[in-house]
Structure 1
């Protein structure tokens, strides 16, 4: 391969200004992550500890292998909503006894760990990741069930949690439930539909109806332990496969279950990997605060791929899109990266061909976003930009090799689709704090609305309200700007997390390792390409 040569000057005023802007965004991001880590706040955390219980991240830390990484997913879920940041559940990928597993841990310090609309979406996304990448799923359960005030948004779609558990089992993907507290009502089916169940002495409570409901329904007097305690389920009902004396013992048993799975990856074994030749710290100063200013994505590629080596495909054709081959932590990968924002016909056709080639050789694809979308205008419409963009989107839609997406800068319009946005099923999608995504830029969207309103007034023969138009444009620009930010989008689970640019190589390496638990296989069929 050919090593990339960087022209970046880390000491320049431009790089320093870009870096300062990125660091400011990272400080804001850290403040939001801190809210998720804080859970329900000091009062409820202290009460939980006083009961002799561990917090969800403490449980995860003890469950995964010592000094191994934990890739937390969707930590900002619920941001901007009426619910706590993090949505009362922690999800991610961790290594247990050498096996990469998806972990889903309820946070009982946040409204008793009850499931709200965002925690449901977050849990379903974690289960999707387990299914697509063939990763064992471990549920660390302590939840009061549904958040009753929002049951209308939870009850109907919530059944998918249990359906997905059974489908994971059918696919040969192990599911393990470690029950640390409440798992009641509909939640009782979570351990019931898991392959392996561990319950904790005098802590686990698993029943369809608690003592008050049983009293109301049947007149029967009962207590938590006889109705659904760990001892009863271990000795009488048989729902518990393993009986733990305390939380630490439950986590030990969980590790032993994974150790006995005899798990084997079906994908490639990575080759030895050289680090990039350029400092990852320099990633902080590449993306300008004003996303209208272009930047060379090769500078990013040089700081994330093995040895900074990159064999560029069609380097002299379709220059607004960089395509080529590299390795990342020893895994082969094809890269598509926006160079100058706009996608023209040549870039679209180049992308479609490159995606086909990657599928021929079973190579995952990485999409690095900084696009304002496909080019508009009479010349480009007559030149076939619609059908050429459709070719690219067709290729992305029907490609079966795993896709990874990172939003570095802009990701607007149909360019977001062509570069494998959330709706196109990337295995993982992350954003940098500098990213923005919407149907178009705020100024463009407000301007379009203004032009339409002006034309409508002229058609009616009515005077146009210039002051009202200016107010409208300002309001719309503010709204779209706020709704384009990565915290807003991440809060709605349109990505799997907002990451520090310096962590990009590590995060992608963890994802590629997880992906290769399953076979990586390309397709030869794409449907009809309009020529």
Structure 2
């Protein structure tokens, strides 16, 4: 393989400025993620501990193998909304008895772990990841059910959670429920539809209707324990498969269940000996300029994330604003598409299409590193077939069946976001660097388009154009687009699976590739019609 040569100068002023900007963004990110980790705040955390209960992340830490990583997903879900950052649940991938599992843990310190619209979106995304990557699902349950004031947004789409559980089971993906507290009303169907259920003595409460509602509906007098406690479900209803004495015992039993699954990965095994990159991950901090209009060479990123910094570039002299090539990452083969100078021309689109086809023939996962302003516009490029060539690339991405991973490193605008496998094209995982931005186009461009259209409309009506009002409108639109294109806003909307520190990129991608290998990696030769 060819070893990439780096020309990055960590002592330069440009590098220092870019690194300083990135560190500032990482500090902002840490502050927001700390809000999710803090749960409902000191008062509710202390009350939870006084009841001799573990926090959601403490439960996860005991569940996964000692000293193994936990890849948390969507930690900023709900950011910028009326709801708590993190959406009262923790999701992620962890290794339990040597098996990679998708873990969904309620955070009862946030409004009793109730599910709001963002909780639902976050859970459904976690289920999607489990299904596409064939990961056993472990639910750590303690929830008060739906957030009633927002029930209109939760009730009807919320049924998909139960659909996902039953479909996972039907697909041979094990589902395990460890019930630490309440799992009531609709939530009772989570253990009801799980393959394995662990309930805890005098802690677990599972019923379709609690004592007050039963009293109102039937006149029957009851209490929590007799109506839905662990002892009743273990002895009478049969809902509890395992009876635990306390939380630690429930986690021990959960680990035993996973150990007995006889789980086997169906994807490729990585190379036994993995070579680290030849360049320091720390240097990733200063590669992307603070001003995304300034280009950077994505090979500098690739050299710091792939094994041995070895990269066999494909069509290096053709379509040079898109870098494509083959590498290994933590021992897994991978094909990489990385934007070099932002704009995608016809040559880049055709190059990407062929490369994606080749990856499908060789059953090789694809990594997309985004920094694009979209496909080129203008009469010359329209005459040259830009639409059909861009459509060709999007066709290839949409119908490719090898796993895709996307990382938004810089800009990701317009149809270029689609061609580089944005969220709508179902990448197995999509992460963003703090430097990333994504929107239909840049704020200045969008405001300018609106201004031009408004001016033309005024002239057509024979009206004077108000330049002062137009300037105010442009400033307002630019500010709005800027606010809506930053990573924390997009992550809050669950348009990515998390914002990552650039220095962690190799580790995160390695964890993703390992998770992906739980399912078969199979390409396709079936694509839509490529217009010529």
Match of 2:474 in 1: 473
- The separation in 1 between residues aligned to 2:154 and 2:176, in whole angstroms, is 23
Task: Kindly state the Cα deviation for residue 519 of structure 1 after the two structures are TM-superposed.
Answer: 0.3
Match of 2:17 in 1: 17
Match of 1:211 in 2: 211
- The separation in 2 between residues aligned to 1:527 and 1:385, in whole angstroms, is 18
Match of 1:180 in 2: 180
Match of 1:140 in 2: 140
The alignment status of 1:277 with 2:300, answered yes or no, reads: no
The alignment status of 1:76 with 2:50, answered yes or no, reads: no
- The separation in 2 between residues aligned to 1:225 and 1:500, in whole angstroms, is 46
Task: Kindly state the Cα deviation for residue 520 of structure 1 after the two structures are TM-superposed.
Answer: 0.1
Provide Cα deviations, 1:323-374, integer angstroms capped at 9, x if missing partner: 0000000000000000000000000000000000000000000000000000
The alignment status of 1:265 with 2:265, answered yes or no, reads: yes
* Counterpart mapping for 1:488-499 below 5 A: 488-499=489-500
Match of 1:104 in 2: 104
| Unaligned 5+ runs, structure 2 | none
Match of 1:401 in 2: 402
- SS of the aligned residue for 2:164 comes to helix
Task: Kindly state the Cα deviation for residue 219 of structure 1 after the two structures are TM-superposed.
Answer: 0.5
- SS of the aligned residue for 1:505 comes to helix
* Counterpart mapping for 1:304-453 below 5 A: 304-453=305-454
- The separation in 1 between residues aligned to 2:238 and 2:82, in whole angstroms, is 40
- The separation in 2 between residues aligned to 1:73 and 1:500, in whole angstroms, is 14
Task: Kindly state the Cα deviation for residue 29 of structure 1 after the two structures are TM-superposed.
Answer: 0.2
RMSD: 0.3
- The separation in 2 between residues aligned to 1:523 and 1:153, in whole angstroms, is 38
Match of 2:162 in 1: 162
- The separation in 2 between residues aligned to 1:268 and 1:358, in whole angstroms, is 15
Normalised to the residue count of structure 1, the TM-score between the two structures is 1.00
- The separation in 2 between residues aligned to 1:482 and 1:527, in whole angstroms, is 37
Task: Kindly state the Cα deviation for residue 286 of structure 1 after the two structures are TM-superposed.
Answer: 0.2
Deviation above 3 Å: which 4+ runs of structure 1? none
- The separation in 2 between residues aligned to 1:119 and 1:233, in whole angstroms, is 27
| Unaligned 5+ runs, structure 1 | none
- The separation in 2 between residues aligned to 1:411 and 1:122, in whole angstroms, is 23
Match of 1:192 in 2: 192
Provide Cα deviations, 1:39-89, integer angstroms capped at 9, x if missing partner: 100100000000000000000000000000000000000000000000000
Provide Cα deviations, 1:182-237, integer angstroms capped at 9, x if missing partner: 00000000000000000011000000000000000010000000000000000110
Task: Kindly state the Cα deviation for residue 480 of structure 1 after the two structures are TM-superposed.
Answer: 0.2
Task: Kindly state the Cα deviation for residue 522 of structure 1 after the two structures are TM-superposed.
Answer: 0.0
- The separation in 1 between residues aligned to 2:130 and 2:317, in whole angstroms, is 40
- The separation in 1 between residues aligned to 2:529 and 2:274, in whole angstroms, is 39
Give the number of equivalent residue pairs. 531
The alignment status of 1:457 with 2:458, answered yes or no, reads: yes
- SS of the aligned residue for 2:395 comes to helix
- The separation in 2 between residues aligned to 1:348 and 1:328, in whole angstroms, is 25
- The separation in 1 between residues aligned to 2:326 and 2:286, in whole angstroms, is 24
Match of 1:127 in 2: 127
- The separation in 2 between residues aligned to 1:275 and 1:14, in whole angstroms, is 27
Task: Kindly state the Cα deviation for residue 151 of structure 1 after the two structures are TM-superposed.
Answer: 0.3
Task: Kindly state the Cα deviation for residue 527 of structure 1 after the two structures are TM-superposed.
Answer: 1.5
- SS of the aligned residue for 2:457 comes to helix
- The separation in 1 between residues aligned to 2:330 and 2:268, in whole angstroms, is 12
Match of 1:487 in 2: 488
- The separation in 1 between residues aligned to 2:266 and 2:490, in whole angstroms, is 33
- SS of the aligned residue for 1:204 comes to coil
Task: Kindly state the Cα deviation for residue 456 of structure 1 after the two structures are TM-superposed.
Answer: 0.6
- The separation in 2 between residues aligned to 1:505 and 1:127, in whole angstroms, is 24
Normalised to the residue count of structure 2, the TM-score between the two structures is 1.00
Provide Cα deviations, 1:371-406, integer angstroms capped at 9, x if missing partner: 000000000000000000000000000000000000
- The separation in 1 between residues aligned to 2:155 and 2:213, in whole angstroms, is 19
Match of 1:234 in 2: 234
Match of 1:171 in 2: 171
- The separation in 1 between residues aligned to 2:48 and 2:422, in whole angstroms, is 39
Match of 1:299 in 2: 300
- The separation in 2 between residues aligned to 1:474 and 1:510, in whole angstroms, is 42
- The separation in 1 between residues aligned to 2:33 and 2:210, in whole angstroms, is 35
- The separation in 2 between residues aligned to 1:275 and 1:265, in whole angstroms, is 24
- The separation in 1 between residues aligned to 2:240 and 2:176, in whole angstroms, is 11
Provide Cα deviations, 1:94-130, integer angstroms capped at 9, x if missing partner: 0000000000000000000000000000000001111
Match of 1:48 in 2: 48
